Chain A
Amino acid sequence: MIFSYSWLQELVSSKLPVPSELADVLNAHAFEVEEVEKRGGEWLLNLSVLPNRAGECTNHLGMAREIAAILKSGLKMPPLLPMRTQKGSLAPLEVSVRDLELVPRYAAFVVEGVEGKDSPAWMKKRLELVGVNSINALVDISNYVMLEMGQPLHVFDYDEIRGGIMRLKKVQEGEEIATLEGGIHRLPAGTLVIEDAERLIDLAGIKGGAVSGVSQGTRNVVFQAATFEKFFMYASRKRIGLETPAAVLYGYGIDPNLADEALARTASLLRELGVGGKIVQNIDIYPKKIRPRKIALELERVNSLLGKKVPEGEAMGILKRLGFSCTKKGPGRFAVEVPTRRQDVQLPEDLIEEIGRISGYENIFPQLPTEYLIPPEPNERLLLEEDSRDVLREAGFTETYGYSFIGEKDLSLFAYTSEEAEGLAEVENPISSEYRYLRDSLLPNQLRALAQNVAHGRQGVRFFEAGTSFARMGEKFSERRLLAGVLQGDAFFEAKGVVDFLLERLGSEEAWYDTSNQAPSFGPQGLWDNDRSAEIKIAGRRIGFVGSLSAQIAARLKIPRAAMFELDTEMLGEIANTETEYHEPSKFPSVLRDIAVFVPHDVKVADVLNVMEPAGGELVADIDLFDLYDAEELGEGRKSMAFHITFQSQERTLKGSEVDQAESAMREALKANPEWEVR
């Protein structure tokens, strides 16, 4: 809110520091200063008053009270005119409130015989500087009092209130009202309004009705200083979508006891501005008077929470300057009475904040905790993820962070089936359709990043991301931590090699690549090339997927080819073993033999290994594929595989005859398959 420096000065009894210094003082002890500027010869301060204090501090008197308390000065009240009704000729208004819990207080007075005129120049200028347009003296007075004291006022044309009746009530579904700013609002059921004998005349606490507004010709008026319940007003304003200053103030909550001074100030301004007229009726419906709350405060708690000894006199002085009254109840114990305007102060901690900020946080000296230090627990999940990041970086991958969202267009771009789209978690209020869903896989955004860099002419791009994916199952949402990578080019075996490298480095068992099930655990299946992808399984559990990008999607993204993998890091954590153990290499020499075999095209390396390994027995230390040859000249539908086989024992030097025997057992086992030819 914008505050006028000269207006504040009027309300503080001592001379204020210059504006920039005043700003520093407020910054350190009360509110954030957004801007200090000079306009039209006047200094203005834009102060950010947060919701806890906005009900009583977004007005000049409230801010002056803060300033006076900080500067150890006093508050100078503006002129108030004690209210005295006089005899008049107007018929008394009959006001009734149906929902007293929504209207804690309804105070108003009726003025007979006002003279329509403009406000004086000083008031116009002051209003305009803080951002309020001048309309006429009557409306300006109501705005002025709100800006000065924080009480929203509304002024009605008495002669437009039909039947001499004002009824505060909640509307039924479908009722409409035309308000002062010219809009017509269809009101949700339960909205609080004021009606006269015939129609709705006011959208209570939010905006006046067009029919009952004042103009230059208005002769008799009603000034209303009502209090409405804050939660109700907040919800109501949100439902209707009208953010008027009064509605906002009511939503923060104002003090019902403020009405008296606000109306006395109004009366004084009516006289000062020469609007004329006399108060002929006083209305005050205030069945349950709000009284100050009492809080027991112990000085020891103040010192303990702040970590600083505040002298008793200083603490009590601060509270008194802010308008609290304190009674000593024993050594270091006080009963503190909270002024009713301070609805935010409910607990001793709230008082401690007042003492702390006014005495100055800069006077609290930093102190490292002396409490017993318990060594922190390691976060195993995070440690594993960090290890994975290091491994992938070693493997030449660059880490990306993608947005958590994917958009409507992505569903077709990345070939989501309608069933898959159904399983996406959706945001009710997306920023735009581009960010409507939460990602169920990290790959779409990774591929997009890959495509962008490829478009810039980059070669050999390798990206990875460790992030959260989301899914929806019926009415339940779930999330998983995933680790995904993309590799530019026809790089299936690199991708697979990276997965193996990662698993090895994380101390996992070797993975088994299963092609029997082509459904990835996360993200759309259409992302993958069915003939070049496999499930990654460890100990029977599906931990992820590795494969090539579908040619169709590659074409859409304008990436020639790409390979990718995606793993569930939570599952990885359960099977990883980060303990490193040294295995002594064998002291005895190893013997190397080669075996090559022709097999039909559809036979996989794993099939051949599955035959060789058991046949070779314990002497086989390692089998290593060193050549895979798949060409026309081998004859139709055949390919060649060649393996290095290492024989070695931990206990002794192997005899040539032993190795010969094991090797021929392997060859025999391979020959047992009539379609395989051992060379």
Chain B
Amino acid sequence: MAPDVSGLKKRAEEELKGVGNLKDLDEVFRKYLGRKGELTLVLRSLVQLPVEQRSLVSKEANAARDELRQLTEELRKALEGSVRQGGLDVTAPGVRIVRGHLHPLTRLQREVNGIFSGMGFSVVEGPEIEDEWHNFDALNIPANHPSRDMWDTFWMKEKLTKNRHLLRTHTSPVQIRYMEHHEPPLRVIVPGRVFRYEATDARHGFNFYQLEGLMVGKQVSVANFKGVIMEFYKRLFRSEVKVRLRPSYFPFTEPSFEVDMSCLLCGQKGCGSCGQSGWLEMMGAGMVHPKVFEAVGYNPKFLQGFAFGMGLDRLAMMRYKINDARLLYSGSLKFLEQF
């Protein structure tokens, strides 16, 4: 009768796995692979087998011997290692890995850009020193009009008196610059730094980041704006959100809205963050004003579009629970290394 090599191997493996020190390991080794070990004996007895069985069993037994030897060797190394480490205080701290950090605004912008790219929006940019025409006039904000008071402006020191330069008060001029050189239909977002002539406090800075969005086509509607922006918030905050539009006024959109999002902190029950209202003010938006289409040479009769602008600093503050906008520009490692 042929010996049960595979059963033998299995037993040997089981025993090897149970071994906890070098002494036991040697014992198991001897039991199976030593001079009088069980497997050694099988190998020696091969000659007694009928020829037709011999080669098969020989192959199996040799393979089993090799495998068990290898396993023993591996175990030996592991056990030796643990002996050497015996004196180590493993509770001492690991070596601190020096790593860098990306700024929270970078992280947020990447996330936001990614979501909008997924919805077919291209990311475009524009200059931070703008001229008066692109920043105001083309957006239906004429000089000598009270609506200009809605944007406190840093003006550049220069000799020009017409179409003067300024630090852009919003990313909206990039709408104009983009439409001047592209034909509809289009979907773009414009992230970038903007400036307001106002003192800094915990909520506002004189420079901050805005994200502008623009979609123009033949049928683009308020319902589409609601759809896109809800999808955006849903993906950004990874939860179901409600969006509410309230009437507002921006000279470059008609109709214009303030956009509120359901407060995720309190589930709309009312909390300090949402002023007990259950809603958070997120951005301004509206349907592109026909005069804006005219300013860039489009025919407003055949086009509709929506535009929106949100403050990214504020969004970052919400996303990462940052309580002071000035921290974003502080260069403090205590703040930055948390990201």
Which residue of chain A has its CB nearest to the CB of B224?
Answer: A369
The answer on a CB contact under 8 Å between B304 and A435 is no
The answer on a CB contact under 8 Å between A368 and B123 is no
Q: List the one stretch of A268-276, A454-462, A534-542 in contact with chain B.
A: A454-462
Residues on the A chain within 8 Å of B227, using CB: 366-369
Residues on the A chain within 8 Å of B129, using CB: 425, 438, 470, 477, 479
Docked Cα-Cα span, A477 to B165, in Å, equals 9
The answer to whether residues A350 and B254 also contact, given A393-B100, A479-B129 and a CB cut-off of 8 A, is yes
The answer on a CB contact under 8 Å between B219 and A304 is yes
Interface residues in A377-421 (C-beta closer than 8 Å to B): 377, 379, 381-382, 386, 389-390, 392-405
Residues on the B chain within 8 Å of A468, using CB: 128, 193
Taking the complex as formed, is A43 at the interface, i.e. its CB lies under 8 A from any CB of chain B? Answer: no
The answer on a CB contact under 8 Å between B331 and A397 is no
The answer on a CB contact under 8 Å between B160 and A371 is no
Taking the complex as formed, is B106 at the interface, i.e. its CB lies under 8 A from any CB of chain A? Answer: yes
What 0/1 pattern do residues 26 to 37 of A give for CB contact below 8 A with B?
Answer: 011111100000
Docked Cα-Cα span, A431 to B249, in Å, equals 27
Taking the complex as formed, is A448 at the interface, i.e. its CB lies under 8 A from any CB of chain B? Answer: yes
Residues on the A chain within 8 Å of B76, using CB: none
Taking the complex as formed, is B246 at the interface, i.e. its CB lies under 8 A from any CB of chain A? Answer: yes
Taking the complex as formed, is A550 at the interface, i.e. its CB lies under 8 A from any CB of chain B? Answer: no
The answer on a CB contact under 8 Å between B224 and A453 is no
The answer on a CB contact under 8 Å between B290 and A401 is no
The answer to whether residues A353 and B220 also contact, given A29-B247, A396-B100, A453-B332 and a CB cut-off of 8 A, is no
Interface residues in B151-172 (C-beta closer than 8 Å to A): 154-160, 165, 167
Taking the complex as formed, is B102 at the interface, i.e. its CB lies under 8 A from any CB of chain A? Answer: yes
Residues on the A chain within 8 Å of B32, using CB: none
Residues on the B chain within 8 Å of A460, using CB: 98
Residues on the B chain within 8 Å of A446, using CB: 331
The answer on a CB contact under 8 Å between A399 and B336 is yes
The answer on a CB contact under 8 Å between B185 and A452 is no
The answer on a CB contact under 8 Å between B257 and A361 is yes
Taking the complex as formed, is A306 at the interface, i.e. its CB lies under 8 A from any CB of chain B? Answer: yes
Docked Cα-Cα span, A50 to B154, in Å, equals 22
Residues on the B chain within 8 Å of A475, using CB: 158-160
The answer to whether residues A398 and B98 also contact, given A371-B217, A379-B123, A475-B158 and a CB cut-off of 8 A, is no
Docked Cα-Cα span, A374 to B227, in Å, equals 18
Taking the complex as formed, is B177 at the interface, i.e. its CB lies under 8 A from any CB of chain A? Answer: no
Q: Is the interface of A mostly helix, strand, loop or mixed?
A: mixed
Taking the complex as formed, is B101 at the interface, i.e. its CB lies under 8 A from any CB of chain A? Answer: yes
Residues on the A chain within 8 Å of B71, using CB: none
Interface residues in B84-116 (C-beta closer than 8 Å to A): 98-103, 105-106, 110, 113
Residues on the A chain within 8 Å of B337, using CB: 398
Docked Cα-Cα span, A386 to B113, in Å, equals 12
Residues on the A chain within 8 Å of B199, using CB: 431
Taking the complex as formed, is A184 at the interface, i.e. its CB lies under 8 A from any CB of chain B? Answer: no
The answer to whether residues A364 and B336 also contact, given A52-B249, A375-B120, A475-B160 and a CB cut-off of 8 A, is no
Residues on the A chain within 8 Å of B144, using CB: 231, 234-235
Among A350, A367, A392, A479, the most chain B Cβ lie within 10 Å of the Cβ of A367
Which residue of chain B has its CB nearest to the CB of A404?
Answer: B207
Residues on the A chain within 8 Å of B290, using CB: 347, 349
Taking the complex as formed, is A202 at the interface, i.e. its CB lies under 8 A from any CB of chain B? Answer: no
CB < 8 Å neighbour of A463 from B221, B247, B331:
B331
Which residue of chain A has its CB nearest to the CB of B97?
Answer: A396
Separation in Å of the A204 CB from the closest CB of chain B? 17
Which residue of chain A has its CB nearest to the CB of B107?
Answer: A399
Taking the complex as formed, is B270 at the interface, i.e. its CB lies under 8 A from any CB of chain A? Answer: no
Residues on the B chain within 8 Å of A401, using CB: 103, 105, 328-329
Residues on the B chain within 8 Å of A349, using CB: 254-255, 287, 289-290
CB < 8 Å neighbour of B223 from A365, A392, A462:
A365
Docked Cα-Cα span, A634 to B195, in Å, equals 59
Separation in Å of the B214 CB from the closest CB of chain A? 13
Chain B interface bracket (under 10, 10 to 19, 20 to 34, 35 or more): 35 or more
Which residue of chain B has its CB nearest to the CB of A55?
Answer: B146
The answer to whether residues A453 and B331 also contact, given A234-B145, A369-B228 and a CB cut-off of 8 A, is yes
Taking the complex as formed, is A580 at the interface, i.e. its CB lies under 8 A from any CB of chain B? Answer: no
CB < 8 Å neighbour of A389 from B106, B165, B258:
B106
Separation in Å of the B302 CB from the closest CB of chain A? 11
Separation in Å of the B91 CB from the closest CB of chain A? 25
The answer on a CB contact under 8 Å between A54 and B146 is yes
Residues on the A chain within 8 Å of B256, using CB: 353
Separation in Å of the B298 CB from the closest CB of chain A? 14
The answer on a CB contact under 8 Å between B156 and A477 is yes
The answer on a CB contact under 8 Å between A357 and B146 is no
Interface residues in B190-209 (C-beta closer than 8 Å to A): 193, 195, 197-199, 206-207
The answer on a CB contact under 8 Å between A369 and B220 is yes
Residues on the B chain within 8 Å of A558, using CB: none
Taking the complex as formed, is B218 at the interface, i.e. its CB lies under 8 A from any CB of chain A? Answer: yes
Docked Cα-Cα span, A53 to B254, in Å, equals 13
The answer on a CB contact under 8 Å between A399 and B222 is no
The answer on a CB contact under 8 Å between B128 and A374 is no
Docked Cα-Cα span, A349 to B292, in Å, equals 13
Taking the complex as formed, is B122 at the interface, i.e. its CB lies under 8 A from any CB of chain A? Answer: yes
Taking the complex as formed, is B125 at the interface, i.e. its CB lies under 8 A from any CB of chain A? Answer: yes
Taking the complex as formed, is A606 at the interface, i.e. its CB lies under 8 A from any CB of chain B? Answer: no
The answer on a CB contact under 8 Å between B224 and A368 is yes
The answer on a CB contact under 8 Å between A30 and B146 is no
Taking the complex as formed, is B283 at the interface, i.e. its CB lies under 8 A from any CB of chain A? Answer: no
The answer on a CB contact under 8 Å between A376 and B224 is no
Taking the complex as formed, is A427 at the interface, i.e. its CB lies under 8 A from any CB of chain B? Answer: yes
Residues on the A chain within 8 Å of B65, using CB: none
The answer to whether residues A448 and B185 also contact, given A27-B246, A431-B206 and a CB cut-off of 8 A, is no
The answer on a CB contact under 8 Å between B222 and A356 is yes
Residues on the B chain within 8 Å of A307, using CB: 221-224, 226
CB < 8 Å neighbour of B128 from A235, A369, A428, A479:
A479
Residues on the B chain within 8 Å of A368, using CB: 119, 224, 227-228, 231
The answer on a CB contact under 8 Å between A304 and B221 is yes
The answer on a CB contact under 8 Å between B100 and A304 is no
Taking the complex as formed, is A122 at the interface, i.e. its CB lies under 8 A from any CB of chain B? Answer: no
Which residue of chain B has its CB nearest to the CB of A397?
Answer: B100
The answer to whether residues A402 and B331 also contact, given A52-B147, A349-B287 and a CB cut-off of 8 A, is yes
The answer on a CB contact under 8 Å between A366 and B249 is no
Separation in Å of the A158 CB from the closest CB of chain B? 34
Taking the complex as formed, is B333 at the interface, i.e. its CB lies under 8 A from any CB of chain A? Answer: yes
Residues on the A chain within 8 Å of B150, using CB: 50-51
What 0/1 pattern do residues 426 to 445 of A give for CB contact below 8 A with B?
Answer: 11111100010010000001
Docked Cα-Cα span, A458 to B335, in Å, equals 13
Residues on the B chain within 8 Å of A353, using CB: 247, 254-256
Residues on the B chain within 8 Å of A370, using CB: 219
Taking the complex as formed, is A121 at the interface, i.e. its CB lies under 8 A from any CB of chain B? Answer: no
The answer on a CB contact under 8 Å between A51 and B146 is yes
What 0/1 pattern do residues 335 to 355 of A give for CB contact below 8 A with B?
Answer: 000000000000101101100
The answer on a CB contact under 8 Å between B218 and A364 is no
Residues on the A chain within 8 Å of B165, using CB: 477
Taking the complex as formed, is B314 at the interface, i.e. its CB lies under 8 A from any CB of chain A? Answer: no
Docked Cα-Cα span, A371 to B128, in Å, equals 32
Residues on the A chain within 8 Å of B159, using CB: 475
The answer to whether residues A30 and B247 also contact, given A401-B328, A449-B331 and a CB cut-off of 8 A, is yes
What 0/1 pattern do residues 12 to 43 of A give for CB contact below 8 A with B?
Answer: 00000000000000011111100000000000
Query: Given known contacts A364-B226, A367-B226, A460-B98, what 7 new A-B pairs fall within 8 Å (CB)?
Result: A31-B247, A352-B254, A366-B230, A392-B100, A400-B331, A404-B167, A449-B331
Question: Can you list 29 A-B pairs with a CB-CB distance of less than 8 A?
Answer: A28-B246, A51-B147, A304-B219, A352-B254, A364-B222, A366-B227, A367-B227, A368-B224, A369-B217, A369-B227, A371-B217, A393-B99, A393-B101, A394-B100, A399-B106, A402-B331, A404-B128, A428-B154, A428-B155, A429-B155, A431-B197, A431-B206, A449-B332, A452-B331, A452-B332, A460-B98, A468-B128, A475-B159, A477-B156
Q: Which 8 A-B pairs have the closest CB atoms?
A: A307-B223, A449-B331, A307-B221, A353-B255, A393-B100, A50-B249, A361-B245, A366-B226
